[in-house]
Amino acid sequence: MRSAYSVETVRAAERELMARLPEGALMQRAASGLAAACAELLGRVYGSRVVLLVGSGDNGGDALYAGARLARRGAGVTALLLAPERTHPGGLAALRAAGGSAREAAGGALDGRAAEDGAVAAGVAELIRRADLVVDGIVGIGGSGGLRPAAVPLAVLARASDAVVVAVDLPSGVEADSGEVRGEAVRADATVTFGTHKPGLLIDPAREYAGATRLVDIGLRPHLPPTADLEALQHADVAALLPSPAAESDKYRRGVVGVAAGSARYPGAAVLAVSGALHGGAGAVRYVGPAGDAVIARFPETLVSAGPPSKAGRVQAWVVGPGVGDDAGVVDEVLASDVPVLVDADGLRLADRAAVRARTAPTLLTPHAGEAAALLGTSREEVEAARLPAVRELAARYGATALLKGSTTLVAGPDGGPVRVNPTGTPWLATAGSGDVLSGLAGSLLAGGLDALDAASVAAYLHGLAGRVAAGEGAPVGASEVAATVARVWRDVVGGGWAAPSAGY
Ligand SMILES: NC(=O)C1=CN([C@@H]2O[C@H](COP(=O)(O)OP(=O)(O)OC[C@H]3O[C@@H](n4cnc5c(N)ncnc54)[C@H](OP(=O)(O)O)[C@@H]3O)[C@@H](O)[C@H]2O)[C@@H](O)CC1
Ligand SMILES: Nc1ncnc2c1ncn2[C@@H]1O[C@H](COP(=O)(O)OP(=O)(O)O)[C@@H](O)[C@H]1O
Ligand SMILES: [K+]
């Protein structure tokens, strides 16, 4: 399991650790890991041109000490100081002692350099343009509210340069705790983060700004609490959670999932939800609704009933909603059952919040950003800008587990606790009906006995991997192909035959 901790928790752990170490030791560990990552990215350090963007805090201190290490190996290192009088003094001295230089980013003169009127900005632009490597030490976990105006031109110049941009701890300007990016921020090719991931590094839009993420161990782990703010399942976690039939299993013991989906207008939603359910490990899939003919034609193994959900026979979990149109009755009836229920698509619009809150068995809601926005009374843009607060709010309001789909899929439980972030997935999954496959898959895992948080996050993991595999090197895929690829990735996950799905996770 990969985990991320909020700034407050990181600060507390750092205080504890720092109290046991000589002054400055932690920063040296950070700078050493940062310099090693920079050297790797540069390939050849000797003779390379390195520019450090240095803010007034310890984030700038990390950059300066790492710059000193690179200067000692023969790099030409220039620090651009945003606040010369408040620059980390030890870091600045170390850089100078190693042969590096420093100048004011916004004007003035340092190191004996004359500042002509207007020449400094031009010089700064040229330095960044010609750099091989730009190290972003403007601000780290001490920042909030987007980049300050004085730092904005540096972020813009770094983006326009061909240099490799490495962010120190976080890309400056992103919100560490939520992944929000309000205004300008540094766009990094890589982020070297210290001690633990911060939630923002794993959640869009900030994740997009971070590039590949590398975690440097500074000895913080033993001082962090056992419960993280954000968790990402890995192959081994998923493999341990996947149901597998035992010798004495029969189809009922493996779990029966009921799918109440589709309509005369949208029979495909029923077929796709059933296709996902058939690949999620349940022993049987029961379909209830008006699209029985379409379902049985495609999947003859489905148990189809024409009557209402309450007359369909025993199930261990329900999926309700995909393509049901305006059939509120079916949603009410399923919510009245005493087994876990997954509500998706049209079902989300039709579900009565009080009825969901009153349920004693678990409920799992699986909206995309637009559906989540409708449930929260906000806009899709706002949900996409602040996914983590949105998914938490949704789970709290409904007293349910909420899975928020999209470029970063998040799962939050009703009682707080760690939010799961899905590390797999691909934008190729943004194809009609792929959400229906996901809901069938997650419902099947619920029927197989996983709790709602695990069922949702395992389903998102498999679905994301299946999307990647089906899309191969990058080709459009349909939702049916995603469903058909789940068996392959299931096998790979259980067999441990896959490398970690993405850098930084
Ligand atoms: N603690 C540790 O043990 C270790 C910490 N480590 C490192 O320290 C970092 C945290 O350092 P930190 O606490 O000094 O804060 P930091 O991120 O440098 O920012 C504060 C400065 O930024 C400024 N500023 C604020 N907002 C801004 C904005 N939006 N845009 C622009 N500027 C903004 C703010 O200015 P002020 O408000 O004072 O005017 C203040 O001066 C951490 O991320 C890691 O890299 C590692 O060495 C490992 C050990
Ligand atoms: N940009 C993206 N990157 C990764 N996955 C995405 C992206 N956009 C959508 N997805 C995934 O694609 C699926 C689409 O689901 P949904 O929006 O419900 O589609 P539909 O209603 O057509 O089935 C979800 O699993 C979602 O997480
Ligand atoms: K930074």
pLDDT in tens, 1-50: 999 999 999 999 999 999 999 999 999 999 999 999 999 999 999 999 99
Asked if residue 505 has pLDDT above 70, the reply is: no
pLDDT at residue number 106? 81
Considering the domain boundaries, does residue 64 fall inside one? Answer: yes
Ligand 1 pocket check for 148: Cβ under 6 Å: yes
Considering the domain boundaries, does residue 273 fall inside one? Answer: yes
Q: Which of 189, 207, 232 marks a domain boundary?
A: 232
Q: How confident is the model at residue 498 (pLDDT cuts 50, 70, 90)?
A: low
Alpha carbon nearest to ligand 1 atom 22, residue: 139
* Structural domain total, the chain: 2
User: Residue 425: nearest ligand to its CA?
Assistant: 2
Asked if residue 120 has pLDDT above 60, the reply is: no
Q: Which domain holds residue 109?
A: 2-232
Q: Look up the ipTM and state it.
A: 0.94
pLDDT at residue number 115? 38
Mean pLDDT of 183-199: 97
For the CA atoms of 29, 32, 34, 37, what is the dihedral angle to 10 degrees?
-130
Higher pLDDT, 100 or 149: 100
pLDDT at residue number 502? 45
List the beta bridge partners of residue 331: none
pLDDT 10s digits, 237-246: 999 999 988 8
Burial class (CB in 10 A: 0-12, 13-18, 19+), 350: buried
For the CA atoms of 214, 217, 221, 224, what is the dihedral angle to 10 degrees?
-60
User: Any residues with CB less than 8 A from the CB of 397 and at least 6 apart, and which?
Assistant: 353, 375, 376
Task: Sheet with 101-104: list strands edge to edge.
Answer: 101-104, 76-81, 49-54, 133-137, 164-168, 190-194, 212-216
Residues with CB under 6 A from ligand 2: 345, 368, 405-407, 409, 425-427, 429-430, 432-436, 438, 463
DSSP letter assigned to residue 179:
-
Mean pLDDT of 63-92: 97
Check the CA dihedral 202-398-443-265 and report its sign.
negative
Task: Return d(Cα 78, Cα 100) in angstroms, integer.
Answer: 6
Same domain? 202 vs 262: no
Higher pLDDT, 167 or 111: 167
Considering the domain boundaries, does residue 486 fall inside one? Answer: yes
Considering the domain boundaries, does residue 240 fall inside one? Answer: no
Q: Residue 283 maps to which CATH number? A: 3.40.1190.20
Same domain? 37 vs 81: yes
Mean pLDDT of 225-235: 96
Considering the domain boundaries, does residue 503 fall inside one? Answer: no
Same domain? 367 vs 435: yes
pLDDT 10s digits, 320-372: 999 999 999 999 999 999 999 999 999 999 999 999 999 999 999 999 999 99
Considering the domain boundaries, does residue 505 fall inside one? Answer: no
Considering the domain boundaries, does residue 77 fall inside one? Answer: yes
pLDDT 10s digits, 260-292: 999 999 999 999 999 999 999 999 999 999 999
Ligand 1 centroid to Cα of residue 6, in Å, is: 15
Same domain? 227 vs 360: no
Check the CA dihedral 6-7-8-12 and report its sign.
positive
- For ligand 2, mutation pick of 429, 458, 482 (most atoms within 8 Å of CB): 429
Q: Which of 232, 261, 288 marks a domain boundary?
A: 232
